A and B are shown apart, each in its own frame.
Chain A
């Protein structure tokens, strides 16, 4: 039985990684086979904390997607990008710095895929007006979204999974990963100056054109924007205080989404527009597959083997986890990877007695998975989305064109994360 369950899991994982069939079909097919094999029943799939669908993850994602759907109706991202272009008077490098900073901050507060979906169109507009090549700007935004997304619990789906599995709070992420994201962003901006230097040609006449743009024109509903920002601020306060309030982040997001829907008076089609149902269903299938491995004891056996191998050498384990996660996340989608590895890391952390050194394994996993997503064109969903938008607008970005920049950024940021983890948890900790 164990061999059959492992074979189904590996088979589904290969299908997800190679994209031979749609990842949702692969995850649901794998989950269905787990049920047919008799390993998973309704309790195991839906109601068990250890093996079931992690509803906190699903509803946190759903809530944030609804919030983004409403925010999208306001035109706030278009406003910010045009404001930024005017603020820097059309100077290309300064514009790139502004755009990547906006993207990174927005990715920390919202989902990074949605952030690039909203920022990319206005980036194309600004680049058109400044006669700048948009590809370097779009690639830089995708890379910035993955770095910024690392900073918070809600910034990147792997963080949401890790937070739920490890019972980590929004503030835990903020305190442990936001400083690293900030350092990585500073290094990333320096890299942008070097990597994209040929794109920074300044045209005074074109810059004057941009100064003519009126950013207030793109605000579609000013009153809704104000209300949305108030609710978003309340949601952020809710995230920060969720441990003290004993309210799960998923409930904070759902309450925020509900409040936004109520104040926006939008129709269901509008406030559900950005909900990626295939992604949510993919997560469910994935959780059931991983739950089956937990149920038959594969994860426990593997966890014990890993724990024996690691012993008390947590820095070595963190290093392997950081670099290994980065490499694997560059090759395959980091969501199934983190969903699979989290129970193993949980075992290691538990055996370490919940010390800062053992808990640092979570941060190594999150940093590796989030930053490693930058390594290749298919490493993170944001990369794939930005390449799709570029192609549709007549600016195709090849796999290698993206990867040659992504690989540099991933390597440098992981190289920064490594001493950060060492100094913070194993020298100073």
Chain B
């Protein structure tokens, strides 16, 4: 099966979209990530849910996970307010890290798609035909195809 057959419609967001709105969309629709389009409307990168968490959770907690226990409910709620007044641009990895995108062309085989996702630790791969986003392939969609 080819990528065009595995692809499903998938929401895209722009780099200047509101970070809170993007995170809400991800949560409401249970999406593993979002396709981010650049200023020219072409896919820029994939924003995985883990990157949103990476933005919200302070680096010092990531460095010393034991500190997470010091956060009570109120402090935890305050963390999500970090998204306010930020855009998707602030959440995506720096340009240098985004040089290689989890993007496949419509004729890519399932194994090619899986290889891209595995190599880039991405929960989704965008299927791009020229400048047009055909959709995306999620891990669950791919596993459904692979598993007997």
Residues of A within 8 A of B (CB): 75, 78, 82, 118, 120-122, 124-125, 128-129, 209, 212-214, 217-218, 220, 389, 392-394
Contacts and interface: CB of A to CB of B under 8 A. Distances in A.
A387 to B, nearest CB: 14
B32 to A, nearest CB: 26
B40 interface: no
* Contact residues of A: prevailing secondary structure: helix
Contacts of A118: 64
A43 B58 CA distance: 51
Contacts of A78: 64, 66-67, 70
Contact of A220 (B60, B61, B66): B66
Given A129-B75, A209-B75, A120 B60 contact: yes
A392 B64 contact: no
Contacts of B67: 78, 121-122, 125, 218
B72 interface: yes
Contacts of A217: 69-70
Interface in B64-115: 64, 66-67, 69-70, 72, 74-75
Contacts of B59: 392-394
A214 B66 CA distance: 13
B72 A212 contact: yes
Nearest to A215: B70
Given A129-B75, A209-B75, A212-B72, A124 B58 contact: yes
A394 B54 CA distance: 13
Size class of B's contact patch? 10 to 19
A124 B72 CA distance: 16
B63 interface: yes
A78 B74 CA distance: 20
Contacts of A393: 58-60
A86 B15 CA distance: 42
Contacts of A129: 75
A122 B64 contact: yes
B99 to A, nearest CB: 21
B84 to A, nearest CB: 16
A122 B72 CA distance: 15
Nearest to A392: B59
A387 B95 CA distance: 23
| 6 nearest CB pairs, A to B | A121-B60, A121-B64, A124-B60, A217-B69, A75-B66, A393-B59
